[in-house]
Amino acid sequence: MNQSHISLNVHDLERSVAFYTVFMGSEPVKRKEDYAKFEMRDPNLNLALVPARTPVIGPGALSHLGVRVHNQKDLATWHDRVKAAGLMPEGESGVCCYALQDKFWLKDPDGVDWEVYTVIEDSEVKGGSQKCHDAACC
């Protein structure tokens, strides 16, 4: 089975585990004093959280991370789950990256932007809101 893998350095492991438990919709599959791993089947993702070895200021060179969901129903499910947990997703709709998209943005405890989106249809124009341009989402 192929699986995407992301490892994030985090400032506060406990706070990040709490955030990603809500965001991913499940508990970590492995949890140690200095490590947490989440595995999802849809999307197929292995996300590891490790305490930063040296002080890290902001999200570093990373622009953002994203999850493309199948449709608007799945997008609403993700949105409702994180909002019900007290997180503040920022919704957005429109053309971005040559596609008409519905999406929301959310920051993790270390300031990393997450984009959860669905593509409605392709577009001939690049488009993009200020948020999209700021995050260099294309």
Asked if 45 and 3 count as a contact pair (C-beta separation under 8 A), the reply is: yes
What is this structure's pTM?
0.73
Residue 41: CATH number of its domain: 3.10.180.10
- Tens of pLDDT, residues 79-111: 999 999 999 999 988 888 788 899 999 999 988
Cα gap 9→16, rounded to integer Å: 10
Judgement on whether residues 134 and 68 belong to the same structural domain of the protein:
yes
User: What single-letter DSSP state applies at residue 60?
Assistant: T
- Tens of pLDDT, residues 29-51: 999 998 999 999 888 898 989 88
- Give the list of residues 6+ apart from residue 53 with CB closer than 8 angstroms, or none: 9
Q: What is the 3-state secondary structure (H, E, C) of 29-41?
A: CEEECCEEEEEEE
What Rg, from alpha-carbon coordinates, does the chain have? 15
Judgement on whether residues 45 and 95 belong to the same structural domain of the protein:
no
Structural domain for 83, as ranges? 62-138
Mean pLDDT of 52-57: 68
User: What single-letter DSSP state applies at residue 67?
Assistant: E
Does residue 34 belong to any structural domain of this protein?
Answer: yes
